[in-house]
């Protein structure tokens, strides 16, 4: 098998890179192992939410040059960040994803499943996005919960709207068929409810009950259990509830993330991209400083050849990095990894302090060529969460780094 | 939970300090003998050593060679607990295995000592041992079967408290003794601080029992009484799934990392034993060296441990007491220590019960209660050895047709016949909160309403929520919602959620590599990244 570019990974960075390359006429294949971290994404893309001192950032682009040199944004430089940040919404829009914040350089807040606010750059435009803690666009808000669905903690969401100054009512709706779900001993998850909503009877009943309970609210907040396969249920529910509707993400699996993923996948395929699903890449064949091919478990005895390779396998939780008490490795190519030899320095005592392991990752040069034995591999790039040099939880830049590095590397190729 | 609006205007016969198994057992015994009991605990029940041990129901075999007295006590209590606390026990039996590096001659000494103590120790063929316990190291050259078992210290403590309450006792959590009130060389009561509200109050009784485990030395000091204690830290590792079905011990003189105990869905490897300064007992950390020692030894017992994810590491402190004629602490007893401070120190109205082990808590309670009764001239025979505990005192109710088999079975394992209190009133009550431990909304509600639950950690100790392989990944959020719905303030509940997850992390951190590190990253990705939680939340 031969391609122009092989991207290893199937998450946000891999697929954005794949789309950008395919759009430019490259023959691209994505070798995807399994699930993506997007299942934990509540429908937002964050460029930079906090500076390195932990202060909220109003305009992310103003702070790019304050970041430490190891940060992927510093590596590509401000001009490239600005360029890629302008490109990203265009690509997302073309995939059928419409975002709040796309026409502004300012951050807004997204509302988390626990009702807390996190600075964000782009938020799916049917999800709750708030410009300022002081001026809410809505006066009367109805927060809808679904009886016995525990993964949408509506009480916290309602408390949040109250403290933002809205008159808030909490209204619990009992789905007609919910008994069927709970008669199964496994827990009721967002995906199970979202599948239920694909049944018109259930959705109509749900909408009717909301209409009868909510009369004068100017916003109805719903748990994000709509839009699992396409926008069908979103259109139906927003049409049936006369009041404006916004979603707040549930606990994982997040429907918003899978919605992002499925639309981007579709776009990638439309542009001629190829998916090699279930691909567990084991290793690669090198010649000097070049990677010739990769080998995967599901293609035994085959070399998968390409001119360029992009590594987008994520961090520890996605399997892009592996650790043992002896150290940290990049398991496919044995690339150079930035980490501390002293295992005591990997983590901090408080869970919510900056954890040093969050900054561990593959070493690259400023063009994101992955390093092995101190030398850049000239046709292997690393993008997304596998990169070292920044704490994506503290800076709220995880999805931003994924998208920016994906587009940057695509342009370089 | 409110049981009495004015607990401090009542008169008590006895005040018991400490909400571990010793205090709970003593409260039960005193209450059964007709005393009016107040139990005070500075944090939560089982907060100390009771919640940080092996969950091993010793047959006594481990002590047989070195300490016949402890061994005899253990097997006696072992047989009693099987009768009175069967819902807290899994009758697994145990093996003492000899590895090629060990001295097989020790086995004969060991079996002989067991038999002398009354422990039914039976030498079996190593091949048979491999069949009945497939996880054991296949190279074993000897095996002895003994009546060890697995016991749940959380449910055991709860059951004792429920019975004490049924017999009129009042138990207060988050009430710390800040002073013993002394008059004419007699302790007449305690001054308390409510650690949730800061409120100060007093309660009076003719006798106060110090059942605060290792913290007892600090309690006694408040009456000017010196008890020479030697805190011994024991570290343990919890593995991500149940590797073994029987308790597996090493047949040699007790050493580090030579016991693996199955505990419901996980396995626990322990222990180490190191002297620690008394100033550190509130702040136990498992060190990398301890993890290494435990793992190295554990893999000898059960090779599969090398490939099993370690969920977390934790440490407890044994309340070892130096005998009074040896203040240097060279001869430390692991036996029961029951002190009448009038005789020992000229301080009347004050009794300390300490030393001992989880296994012998009932006997400790009996001795303490005998002494209390003697001091207040109360006649009453101890019945705790024959009266089953709540949960084991009735037939476990049959599952009703509309109840979930999985959650009800799990609830029965935790609460025995007390599951009759768990009512599924609507579909939400049936929903599962914790997928690892199969805990339902109804079970959470029962715990919140009836088992002294103020926060998520309390709830974890009553229901095991968040103790399974996911370590609270989603169930803690769901449980936080239930606490909020039960009247909790949203912001305070989120802060509680953050500190709960932080406490879970404390146990993961010493073993944060491999899949444990990946899980930790996933946890913070959900809590901080997706949910936006911090230690201090602003909703």
pLDDT score, position B327: 56
pLDDT score, position B313: 95
Residue-wise pLDDT for B135-168, tens only, equals 999 999 999 999 999 999 999 999 999 999 999 9
Burial classification of residue A103, based on how many CB atoms lie within 10 Å of its CB (0-12 exposed, 13-18 middle, 19 or more buried)? exposed
Q: Residue A177 pLDDT > 80, yes or no?
A: no
Q: Are residues A44 and A94 in the same domain?
A: yes
Residue-wise pLDDT for B32-64, tens only, equals 999 999 999 999 999 999 999 999 999 999 999
- CATH code for the domain in which residue A271 is found: 3.50.50.60
pLDDT score, position B2: 41
* Type and span of the H or E element at B359: none
Any domain includes A109: no
Which structure tokens are listed for B76? Answer: 């006696």
Instruction: Tell which B residues from 211 to 270 touch A, by Cβ distance under 8 Å.
Output: none
pLDDT band at residue B245 under the 50/70/90 scheme: very high
pTM: 0.94
Distance CA A335, CA A356 (A): 19
Any domain includes A277: yes
pLDDT score, position A181: 61
Distances (CA, A) of A258 to A30, A235, A263, B355: 17, 17, 9, 57
In percent, how much of chain A has pLDDT > 70? 97
Asked if B532 lies within 8 A of A160 by C-beta distance, the reply is no
Asked if A148 lies within 8 A of B528 by C-beta distance, the reply is no
Q: How far is B489 from chain A (nearest CA, A)?
A: 9
Q: What is the mean pLDDT of residues A124-152?
A: 94
- DSSP character for B398? P
Instruction: Tell which A residues from 318 to 377 touch B, by Cβ distance under 8 Å.
Output: 319, 322-325, 343-344, 346-347, 349-352, 355, 357-358
pLDDT band at residue B1 under the 50/70/90 scheme: very low
Q: Are residues A298 and A166 in the same domain?
A: no
Q: Give me the number of domains chain A comprises.
A: 2
Instruction: Tell which A residues from 142 to 201 touch B, by Cβ distance under 8 Å.
Output: 147-151, 153, 155-156, 159-160, 163, 174, 178-179, 182-183, 185-188
pLDDT score, position A286: 96
Q: How far is A191 from chain B (nearest CA, A)?
A: 15
Q: Are residues A316 and A385 in the same domain?
A: yes
Q: Are residues A83 and A205 in the same domain?
A: no
Q: Residue B424 pLDDT > 90, yes or no?
A: no
Are B159 and B391 a contacting pair, CB within 8 Å?
A: yes
Are A92 and A20 a contacting pair, CB within 8 Å?
A: no
Q: What residues make up the domain containing A206?
A: 128-248
pLDDT score, position A183: 58
pLDDT score, position B5: 58
Q: What is the mean pLDDT of residues B240-252?
A: 96
Q: Residue A30 pLDDT > 90, yes or no?
A: yes
Any domain includes A123: no
Where a domain ends, among A227, A248, A269? Answer: A248
Within an 8 Å CB–CB cutoff, is residue A11 touching chain B? no
Least confident of A168-182, A322-336, A372-386, B444-458: A168-182
Q: Are residues A31 and A84 in the same domain?
A: yes
Q: Residue B4 pLDDT > 60, yes or no?
A: no
pLDDT score, position B322: 77
Q: What is the mean pLDDT of residues A105-115?
A: 95
Asked if A114 lies within 8 A of B477 by C-beta distance, the reply is yes
Any domain includes A115: no
Q: Are residues A356 and A285 in the same domain?
A: yes
ipTM: 0.97
Are A391 and A354 a contacting pair, CB within 8 Å?
A: yes
Which structure tokens are listed for B250? Answer: 């090493």
* Type and span of the H or E element at B271: none
CATH superfamily of B14-49+154-228+324-375: FAD/NAD(P)-binding domain (3.50.50.60)
Q: How far is B274 from chain A (nearest CA, A)?
A: 21
Q: Are residues A339 and A197 in the same domain?
A: no
Name the residue facing A352 among B427, B490, B528 (closest C-beta). Answer: B528
Q: Are residues A221 and A269 in the same domain?
A: no
Residue-wise pLDDT for B268-302, tens only, equals 998 998 889 999 999 888 998 999 999 999 999 99
Q: In chain B, which segments carry CATH 3.30.9.10?
A: 89-149+230-316
Q: Residue B256 pLDDT > 50, yes or no?
A: yes
CATH superfamily of B89-149+230-316: D-Amino Acid Oxidase, subunit A, domain 2 (3.30.9.10)
Distance CA A279, CA A261 (A): 18
Q: Residue B427 pLDDT > 60, yes or no?
A: yes
Distance CA B488, CA A168 (A): 18
Within an 8 Å CB–CB cutoff, is residue A55 touching chain B? no
Instruction: Tell which B residues from 415 to 474 touch A, by Cβ distance under 8 Å.
Output: 426-428, 430-433, 435, 438, 441, 474
Question: B204, B196, B213, B174: which is closest to B25 by C-alpha?
Answer: B213
Q: In chain B, which segments carry CATH 3.50.50.60?
A: 14-49+154-228+324-375
- CATH code for the domain in which residue A229 is found: 3.40.50
Within an 8 Å CB–CB cutoff, is residue A275 touching chain B? no
Where a domain ends, among A229, A248, A267? Answer: A248
Q: Are residues A405 and A269 in the same domain?
A: yes
pLDDT score, position A178: 61
Within an 8 Å CB–CB cutoff, is residue A390 touching chain B? no
Q: Are residues A401 and A288 in the same domain?
A: yes
Within an 8 Å CB–CB cutoff, is residue B383 touching chain A? no
Q: Are residues A316 and A290 in the same domain?
A: yes
Q: Are residues A231 and A267 in the same domain?
A: no
Distance CA B342, CA B185 (A): 9
Q: What is the mean pLDDT of residues A117-144?
A: 95
Which chain B residue's Cα is nearest to A349? B506
Q: Residue A338 pLDDT > 70, yes or no?
A: yes
pLDDT band at residue B467 under the 50/70/90 scheme: confident
Within 13 Å and on the Cβ side, how many CA atoms surround B308?
A: 24
């Amino acid at each position: 098998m031969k391609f122009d570019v092989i991207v290893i990974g199937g998450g946000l960075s891999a697929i954005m890179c794949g789309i950008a390359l395919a759009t430019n006429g490259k023959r691209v294949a994505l070798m995807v192992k399994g699930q993506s971290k997007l299942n934990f994404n509540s429908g937002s893309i964050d460029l930079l939410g906090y500076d390195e001192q932990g202060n909220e950032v109003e305009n992310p682009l103003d702070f790019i040059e304050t970041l430490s040199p190891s940060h992927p944004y510093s590596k590509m430089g401000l001009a490239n960040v600005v360029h890629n940040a302008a490109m990203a919404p265009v690509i997302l829009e073309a995939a059928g994803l419409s975002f709040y914040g796309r026409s502004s350089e300012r951050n807004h807040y997204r509302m988390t499943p626990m009702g807390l606010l996190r600075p964000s750059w782009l938020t799916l435009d049917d999800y709750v996005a708030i410009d300022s803690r002081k001026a809410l666009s809505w006066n009367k808000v109805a927060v809808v919960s679904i009886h016995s669905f525990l993964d949408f903690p509506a009480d916290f969401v309602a408390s949040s709207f109250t403290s933002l100054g809205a008159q808030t009512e909490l209204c619990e709706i009992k789905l007609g068929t919910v008994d069927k779900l709970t008669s199964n001993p496994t827990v009721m998850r967002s995906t199970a409810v979202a599948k239920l909503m694909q049944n018109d009877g259930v959705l109509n009943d749900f909408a009717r009950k909301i209409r009868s309970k909510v009369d004068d609210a100017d916003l109805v907040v719903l748990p994000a259990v709509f839009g699992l396969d396409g926008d069908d249920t979103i259109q139906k529910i927003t049409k049936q509830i006369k009041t404006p509707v916004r979603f707040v993400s549930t606990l994982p699996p997040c429907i918003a993330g899978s919605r992002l993923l499925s639309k981007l996948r579709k776009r990638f395929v439309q542009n001629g991209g190829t998916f090699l699903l279930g691909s567990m890449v084991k290793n690669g064949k090198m010649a000097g400083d070049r990677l010739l091919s990769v080998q995967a478990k599901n293609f035994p005895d085959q070399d998968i050849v390409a001119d360029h390779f992009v590594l987008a396998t994520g961090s520890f939780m996605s399997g892009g990095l592996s650790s043992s008490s002896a150290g940290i490795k990049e398991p496919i190519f044995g690339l150079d990894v930035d980490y501390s030899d002293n295992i005591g320095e990997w983590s901090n005592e408080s869970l919510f302090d900056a954890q040093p392991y969050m900054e561990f990752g593959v070493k690259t040069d400023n063009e994101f060529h992955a390093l092995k034995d101190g030398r850049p591999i000239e046709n292997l790039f690393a993008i997304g969460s596998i990169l070292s040099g920044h704490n994506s939880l503290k800076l709220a830049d995880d999805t931003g780094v994924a998208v920016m590095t994906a587009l940057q590397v695509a342009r370089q190729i | 939970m409110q049981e009495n609006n004015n607990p401090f205007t009542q008169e008590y016969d006895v005040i018991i300090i400490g909400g571990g198994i010793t205090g709970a057992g003593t409260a039960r015994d005193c209450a059964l003998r007709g005393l009016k009991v107040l139990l005070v605990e500075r944090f939560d029940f089982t907060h100390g050593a009771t919640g940080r041990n092996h969950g091993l129901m010793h047959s006594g075999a481990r002590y047989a060679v070195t300490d016949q007295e402890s061994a005899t006590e253990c097997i006696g209590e072992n047989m009693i607990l099987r009768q009175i606390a069967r819902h807290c026990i899994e009758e697994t039996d145990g093996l003492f295995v000899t590895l090629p590096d060990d001295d097989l001659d020790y086995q004969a000494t060991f079996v002989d000592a067991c038999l002398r103590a009354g422990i039914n120790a039976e030498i079996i063929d190593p091949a048979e041992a491999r069949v009945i316990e497939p996880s054991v190291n296949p190279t074993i050259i000897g095996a002895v079967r003994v009546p060890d078992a697995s016991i749940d210290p959380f449910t055991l403590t709860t059951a004792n408290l429920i019975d004490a309450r049924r017999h009129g006792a009042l138990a207060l959590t988050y009430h710390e003794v800040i002073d013993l009130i002394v008059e004419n060389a007699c302790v007449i009561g305690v001054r308390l601080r409510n650690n949730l509200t800061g409120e100060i109050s007093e309660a009076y009784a003719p006798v106060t029992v110090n059942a605060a485990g290792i913290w007892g030395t600090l309690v006694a000091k408040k009456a000017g009484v010196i008890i020479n204690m030697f805190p011994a830290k024991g570290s343990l590792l919890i593995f991500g799934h149940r590797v073994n079905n029987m308790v597996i011990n090493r047949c040699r003189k007790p050493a580090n990392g030579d016991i693996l105990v199955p505990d419901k869905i996980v396995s626990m490897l322990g222990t180490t034993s190191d002297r620690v300064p008394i100033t550190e007992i509130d702040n136990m950390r498992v060190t990398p060296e301890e993890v290494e020692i435990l793992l190295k030894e554990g893999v000898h017992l059960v090779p599969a441990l090398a490939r099993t994810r370690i969920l977390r590491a934790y440490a407890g402190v044994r309340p070892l007491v130096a005998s009074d004629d040896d203040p240097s602490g060279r001869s430390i007893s692991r036996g029961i220590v029951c002190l009448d401070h009038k005789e020992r120190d000229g301080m009347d109205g004050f009794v300390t019960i300490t030393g001992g082990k989880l296994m012998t808590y009932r006997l400790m309670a009996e001795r303490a209660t005998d002494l209390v009764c003697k001091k207040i001239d109360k006649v009453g025979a101890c019945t705790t050895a024959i009266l089953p505990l709540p949960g084991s005192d009735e037939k476990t109710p049959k599952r009703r047709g509309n109840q979930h088999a999985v959650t009800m079975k799990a609830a029965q394992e935790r609460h025995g016949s007390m599951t009759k209190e768990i009512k599924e009133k609507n579909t939400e009550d049936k929903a599962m909160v914790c997928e690892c431990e199969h805990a339902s909304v109804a079970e959470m509600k029962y715990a919140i309403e009836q088992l002294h639950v103020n926060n998520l950690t309390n709830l974890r100790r009553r229901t095991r929520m968040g103790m399974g392989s996911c370590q609270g990944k989603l169930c803690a959020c769901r449980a936080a919602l239930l606490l909020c719905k039960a009247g909790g303030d949203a912001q305070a509940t989120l802060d509680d959620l953050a500190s709960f997850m932080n406490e879970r992390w404390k146990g993961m951190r010493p073993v944060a590599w491999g899949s444990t590190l990946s899980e930790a990253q996933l946890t913070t990705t959900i809590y901080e990244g997706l949910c936006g939680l911090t230690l201090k939340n602003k909703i």
